[in-house]
Chains A and B, each alone.
Chain A
Amino acid sequence: MRGAPSPDTIVTIKLRGLVRGMPASHVVSIRTRLTALSVLATLAPVGIALGFVAERDLRDIRNEMMSSSALIGYVIAEYSASAMAFEDHADAERTLNGLARDENVIAAGLYDNGGKLFGSYEARSTTGAALRPTISTGRAAGTAVEGEHVAVTQPVISQGTRYGTLLVLVSTAHLRSRIRGYLLSMGLLGLGALVAAGLLALMLERMVSRPLLALADVARRIAATEDYSVRAASVRRDEIGLLGSAFNRMLTEVDGRQQQAQQAIRVRDDFLSIASHELKTPLTSLKLQVQGLLMMPPASLDQSDAARFKQTLEVVDRQVIRLDKLIGNLLDVSRIAAGRLVIDPTETDLSTLVQEVTRQFEPQLARWNCKLQSQIEGSVIGWWDAPRIDQVVTNLLSNAIKYGGGKPIELSVESTVDRARLTVRDHGIGISVDDQRRIFGRFERAASLSYGGLGLGLFISSQIVRAHGGTISVESTPDVGSVFVVDLPRRHSSEGANT
């Protein structure tokens, strides 16, 4: 019994078939399937019953026709025998003319033993079914359907002597009209079934398909507008009504959670905003004092004290700047989260801007003993938010220094008619392919925690570049280095909306 699969195997095979691809029945709409089912349900039983009745009826009619035709042939042959025996043509014709009483008989002919016509009868209505003047002498006796009529061949015998053959042609028009009638009935029945099925399908669709589509529509609307206050109309008390109320209950739940989440986001954003502002105020004051002291140190200090004083203040100043950047990043994140990152484009020379940023990095580069090779076009003018683009360049350059391991950094600014491109390349630790995908996300960082930082710089930079209608991308190989490319349109289509 190796060849026969067990029922379990069959079920498994079928399930596998379903899993492999979506079954065809899931692709066809419920509406189409309901219509097809209704047609089948209506047409099949009635059609089968009608076919059965028609077959019985037509067989009966045919049999009856054959036997009555045979009887006619037998009787006429009997009556014609003496006329043939005495070669009385007139008597034979009289006998044959008696067939006029049967409207189904088209024609009849008596043939002598030589096959020649002895006497004939043709119904008045007969057209084109004329008797042949001779018949084959070897024609077998019996009843057979020949074309559009039944032909009865009956030997004319009297007292054991054969005088000839009688041929009677009986019309099958009755049978044919009966068949036509049945075909018409079946056609009408099919049509009726289709109409009935259509109505049934419409009813079923109203009951099943339409409410489901309405539910799907509500879901689509919510997905499009993110308005979770929308509810599905649910007045029914059947299974679909239950589905509708379950759907609405789920929406209420989602709506509640959404509002809670939004409230939480609002509170967090407000807190971040206020906290950042509050942190910035003392920092401003602190920076002013430090800068004031750096610019105008107390006159009473001697030379060595003045040098130490200056050195200390420079450290304080750097740390203030660092703290300010961290706070600035937090503030930016809260702005981005609240959708409040607005850029303010003015006519800006990217080349000058990048050169200024690199100048600010000179002390840091010197500390890391890191060479910066710049290839900057003379002047690249565009409509950009200068402080924001400054932020992007600063972020990319400080990352290149931070993760570049003291190896040379290459920086370039190029332009086309309508775009500007900034490229920052380092030869440091690099970023794995997996990390490359997520480093532009909020709080994401590719390097180990020992490198420090909040993981906000690239996120903010990418958001700033995006707000300018530009793109930022990275190509990197671990232990070889990274290339960051910022591509900016020189004039953004939505620019000026905030000016």
Chain B
Amino acid sequence: MSEPAPSWVLIVDDDEDIRDSICSLLQLRGFTVETAADGMAGLERMRQGAPPALVILDFMMPRMNGEEFRAAQLRDPELAAIPVVLLTGAGDATGATRLQVERIAKPIDLQLLFDTVARFCA
């Protein structure tokens, strides 16, 4: 596997279809994307090579959920500064508020997703 380009996005979501949809749509838009199936895998991927410009994080995941992922990320000084956007169910804003990160409500508004990613990956 070749080393990803300097500015890339990490998608952490346990749902394969959602993960792959976001991945392929972002790739179609020209972004460089990597995926991870849960928080644990996401952290491992972030520690390999250059860190991502943005993490798109699901909230409810097995093994390590979004909240645990965020806590672990903040504990690691190398990763703490990486911005995170949380994917949450509509009206379930509390998770994002608690984690003090931006949120995108599910079902995802594609334009909003593209705009958000573009903001972080110049």
Contacts and interface: CB of A to CB of B under 8 A. Distances in A.
Interface of A: 276-277, 280-289, 291-292, 295-296, 320-321, 324, 328, 331-332, 335, 342, 344, 385, 387-388, 391, 498-499
B89 A288 contact: no
B108 A292 contact: no
Contacts of A320: 107
Contacts of A387: 90-91, 93, 105
6 contacts: A285-B17, A288-B107, A289-B21, A292-B24, A324-B90, A387-B91
A281 B15 contact: yes
Given A291-B110, A320-B107, 18 more contacts: A277-B89, A280-B89, A282-B17, A283-B107, A284-B15, A284-B106, A285-B17, A288-B25, A288-B108, A292-B21, A328-B89, A332-B91, A335-B91, A342-B94, A385-B93, A387-B93, A388-B91, A499-B97
Interface of B: 15, 17-18, 21-22, 24-25, 28, 60, 89-91, 93-94, 97, 105-110
A157 to B, nearest CB: 125
B107 A292 contact: no
Contact of B25 (A284, A292, A391, A498): A292
Chain B CB count within 10 A is highest, among A287, A288, A320, A388, for: A288
B97 to A, nearest CB: 5
A284 B90 contact: no
Contacts of A331: 89, 91
Given A285-B18, A285-B21, A280 B94 contact: no
B94 A328 contact: no
Contacts of B106: 280-281, 283-284
Contacts of A385: 93
A498 B18 CA distance: 29
A393 B122 CA distance: 35
Given A285-B17, A328-B91, A331-B89, A292 B97 contact: no
B89 A344 contact: no
Given A280-B107, A281-B18, A498-B97, A292 B90 contact: no
Contacts of B22: 288
A331 B106 CA distance: 13
